[in-house]
C-alpha cells in the first residue's frame, strides 16, 4: 500500500526527552560538528541559527513545543525507509523524482478541493513523465508542512496611502515568514511571531495528511479510473496540449484494457495500478518544530522490522556505524534551503543526525569545496540516495555552475540524486511590482541541466517545481501564452509565483519528450 494511503504509523517511535527551557536561548559558539555519538535532536542549539525567529513570549513558546513533543508523528518509520530505498534507485538511474507543490502552504488552503487539485496535477504530471521515461517515479509533494519560508530581508515596507498604511509615509514591518510564524496581513500586529502558529501548523499538516491518505486509499489514483484524474480541461486553452494529454491517456487505457483481456491485470489490480506512493516534504526551517517531531526508533519497531543500524535499506548504506537512529516524523523528506546551508550552522547540525533522506538546495553561490564540505557533514558514509542535490542556478547560468559541482561530488565518492529546481533562479519583478517567473526561462534551465549532465557522463534524475492544480495567473508564458497584463487576474500565491495547471502539464511534456528522444537515440545506436 502507498505510504500515504496507509494509516499513520506512530507506534514505531518513542519521544525523546524534552530539552530544557533554558536552551531556547543558548548562545551560538560556532563549534565544529562532532561525531554522531554527540548528536541529539537539540544539539543544533549550540550553533548559529540562520533565518532565526525571535519570540517575545518564551513561556508560550515552551508550552507549545512541549505539546508538539507529546503529539504522535505524522509519518511512519517504515515509510521513511521505503523512500530511502526509492531515492537510492533514483541515484542509480532506475527511477525519476518528481517533487512539487505550493511555494508556501496556507492554513486557509487546508480544504478538500485544494488538496485534491494539488494531488491531481502531480498525478497527471507523473503520468506524462512515466509515459515518456518508461521508468517508475518517486512522487514527493510540497504539502502537509510547507508553512515556513526563508526571506531575503527580515523587513518589508508598506507604501504610503496603502489600505493597511493610510499615512503619507512608508511603514516598515517584519516580513511575512509563513503561516507557522506570523500572519500575511501587512500590519505590525499581524507580523509579530506567534508560537501558537507552530501548533496550528502541526494540526493543519495532520489534517492534510489524513485527507491525502483517505483519498488515495479509496482509489483516487487508480489507473483504471483515469477520468478521475482530470482537473477539468476547460483550464487548458491550448488544443495541442489537450490532444497530447488525451493521447497519453488513450494509449495507457488501451494498454490496461489489453492486460485485462489476457488476465495479466488481475495480478496488479490491487497493487501498483490501483494506487500510488505519494510522500510529503517541506523545507526544514523552524528547528524548534523539527526537534520536537524527531524521535528515536523503539526496540519494538526494531523487533518487528529489523534494526536500521544492522541492515542496509539503501545500497551503500553505512547505518551500522550509527550509535542511534532518529527520524523526523513530521515529514518523509525535508530540505536545506540555499539560505540555511552554512556548514557550521544550526540547520546543518540538525540535518546531519536524522535518518530521513534530505535535500540540499544549491544556487549559483555554491562552490565545489563548500558542497563537498557540506556533504562530509551530512553524508560522511556516502549512502546512496541519502542526499538529493537540488540545483537552482537560473537560465543561462547552468553551463558554468553545474559541471564543477558534479565533478566534485563524483570525485568525492558520493552517489546523490541530482535534481533540478528551474523555478527559484528565474524570478523577476514586473515594472508594476509583481513578482513572476517566465516559463521559457524555466524550460531553458531545465533543458540545459539535462544537457550538461549528459555531456559529462552524469544524469539528472529529478525535478522540483512550485506548482498548483489551480488556474492561477502567476508565471508568464506556457502554451496558454500568459501575458503580464493577465498576472493580476488570479495572482494568489502566499510567496513566490507557481506554475498553474496548464503550465505544469506543459513542463511535464518537456520532460517526457526529452526521455522519448533519449530512448530513440539509444535505440539507433544499438
Q: Give every CB contact of residue 350 below 8 A, 6+ residues apart in sequence.
A: 41, 43, 44, 284, 287, 290, 291
Nearest to 335 by CA among 398, 391, 383: 391
- What angle in degrees, to the nearest 10, is found between the helix axes of 439-455 and 501-525? 30
Residues 6 or more apart in contact with residue 510 via CB below 8 angstroms: 443, 446, 447
Strands (E), 146-204: 155-158, 171-174
32 assigned to a ligand binding site: no
Chain centroid to Cα 226, Å, comes to 25
| Distance in angstroms between the alpha carbons of the first and the last residue of the chain | 38
- Sign for the CA dihedral angle at 56, 58, 60, 66 comes to positive
**Is 108 part of any known ligand binding site?**
no
Separation of CA 453 from chain center:
22
Nearest to 148 by CA among 285, 4, 21, 345: 285
CA distance 338 to 140: 19
DSSP string, 104-150: S--GGG-SHHHHHHHHHHHHHHHHHHHHHH-S-EEEEEE-SS-----
Q: Is 58 annotated as a binding residue?
A: no
- What is the DSSP code string of 320-340? GG-S--EEETT-SEEEE-TTS
Say if residue 204 carries a ligand binding annotation.
Answer: no
Judge whether 514 is annotated as a binding position: no
Is 149 annotated to bind a ligand? Reply is: no
Residue where the block lists cell 534507485: 89
Q: Is 466 annotated as a binding residue?
A: yes
Report how far residue 431's alpha carbon sits from residue 352's, in angstroms, rounded to the nearest whole number: 43
Q: How many residues does the chain have?
A: 526
Q: In 3D, which of 453, 398, 451 has the Cα closest to residue 421?
A: 398
Are the C-beta atoms of 193 and 53 separated by less than 8 Å? yes
Binding-site residues for Mn(2+) = 103, 424, 466, 496
Show binding-site residues.
103, 142, 361, 392, 424, 466, 496
Binding residues for phosphoenolpyruvate: 142, 361, 392
Amino acid at each position: 500500500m502507498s505510504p500515504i494511503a496507509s494509516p499513520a504509523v506512530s507506534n514505531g517511535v518513542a519521544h525523546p526527552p524534552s530539552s530544557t527551557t533554558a536552551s531556547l536561548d543558548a548562545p551560538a559558539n560556532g563549534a565544529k560538528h562532532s561525531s554522531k555519538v554527540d548528536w541529539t535532536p537539540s544539539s543544533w542549539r549550540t550553533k548559529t541559527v540562520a533565518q532565526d525567529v525571535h519570540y517575545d513570549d518564551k513561556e508560550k513558546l515552551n508550552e507549545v513545543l512541549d505539546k508538539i513533543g507529546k503529539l504522535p508523528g505524522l509519518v511512519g518509520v517504515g515509510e521513511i525507509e521505503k523512500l530511502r530505498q526509492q531515492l537510492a534507485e533514483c541515484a542509480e538511474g532506475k527511477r525519476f523524482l518528481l517533487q512539487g507543490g505550493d511555494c508556501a502552504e496556507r492554513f486557509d488552503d487546508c480544504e478538500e478541493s485544494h488538496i485534491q487539485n494539488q494531488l491531481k496535477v502531480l498525478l497527471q504530471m507523473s503520468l506524462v513523465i512515466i509515459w515518456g521515461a518508461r521508468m517508475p517515479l518517486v512522487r514527493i509533494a510540497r504539502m502537509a508542512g510547507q508553512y515556513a519560508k526563508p526571506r531575503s530581508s527580515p523587513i518589508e515596507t508598506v507604501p504610503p496611502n496603502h489600505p493597511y498604511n493610510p499615512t503619507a509615509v512608508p511603514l516598515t514591518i517584519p516580513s511575512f515568514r509563513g503561516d507557522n510564524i506570523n500572519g500575511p496581513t501587512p500590519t505590525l500586529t499581524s507580523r509579530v511571531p506567534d508560537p501558537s502558529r507552530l501548533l496550528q501548523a502541526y494540526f493543519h499538516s495532520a489534517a492534510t495528511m489524513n485527507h491525502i491518505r483517505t483519498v488515495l486509499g479509496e482509489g483516487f489514483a487508480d489507473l483504471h479510473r483515469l477520468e478521475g484524474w482530470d482537473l477539468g480541461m476547460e483550464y487548458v486553452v491550448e488544443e495541442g496540449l489537450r490532444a497530447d494529454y488525451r493521447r497519453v491517456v488513450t494509449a495507457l487505457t488501451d494498454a490496461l484494457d489489453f492486460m485485462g483481456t489476457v488476465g495479466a491485470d488481475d495480478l496488479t489490480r490491487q497493487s501498483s495500478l490501483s494506487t500510488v506512493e505519494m510522500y510529503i516534504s517541506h523545507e526544514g526551517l523552524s528547528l524548534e518544530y523539527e526537534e520536537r517531531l524527531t524521535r528515536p526508533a523503539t526496540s519494538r519497531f526494531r523487533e518487528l522490522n529489523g534494526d536500521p543500524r544492522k541492515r542496509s535499506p539503501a545500497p551503500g548504506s553505512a547505518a551500522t556505524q550509527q550509535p542511534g537512529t532518529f527520524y523526523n516524523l513530521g515529514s518523509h523528506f525535508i530540505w536545506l534551503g540555499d539560505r540555511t546551508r552554512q556548514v557550521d550552522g544550526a540547520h546543518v547540525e540538525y540535518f546531519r543526525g536524522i535518518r530521513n533522506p534530505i535535500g540540499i538546495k544549491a544556487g549559483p553561490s555554491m562552490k565545489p569545496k563548500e558542497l563537498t564540505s557540506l556533504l562530509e557533514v551530512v553524508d560522511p558514509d556516502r549512502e546512496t540516495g541519502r542526499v538529493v542535490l537540488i540545483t537552482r542556478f537560473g537560465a543561462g547560468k547552468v553551463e558554468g555552475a553545474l559541471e564543477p559541482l558534479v565533478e566534485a561530488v563524483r570525485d568525492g565518492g558520493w552517489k546523490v540524486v541530482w535534481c533540478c529546481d528551474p523555478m527559484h533562479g528565474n524570478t523577476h519583478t514586473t515594472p508594476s511590482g509583481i513578482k513572476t517567473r517566465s516559463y521559457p526561462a524555466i524550460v531553458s534551465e531545465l533543458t540545459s541541466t539535462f544537457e550538461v549532465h549528459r555531456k559529462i557522463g552524469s544524469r539528472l534524475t529529478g525535478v522540483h517545481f512550485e506548482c498548483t492544480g489551480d488556474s492561477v495567473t502567476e508565471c508568464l508564458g506556457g502554451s496558454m501564452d500568459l501575458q503580464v497584463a493577465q498576472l493580476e487576474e488570479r495572482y494568489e500565491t502566499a510567496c513566490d509565483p507557481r506554475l498553474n495547471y496548464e503550465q505544469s502539464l506543459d513542463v511535464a511534456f518537456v520532460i517526457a519528450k526529452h526521455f522519448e528522444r533519449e530512448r530513440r537515440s539509444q535505440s539507433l545506436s544499438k
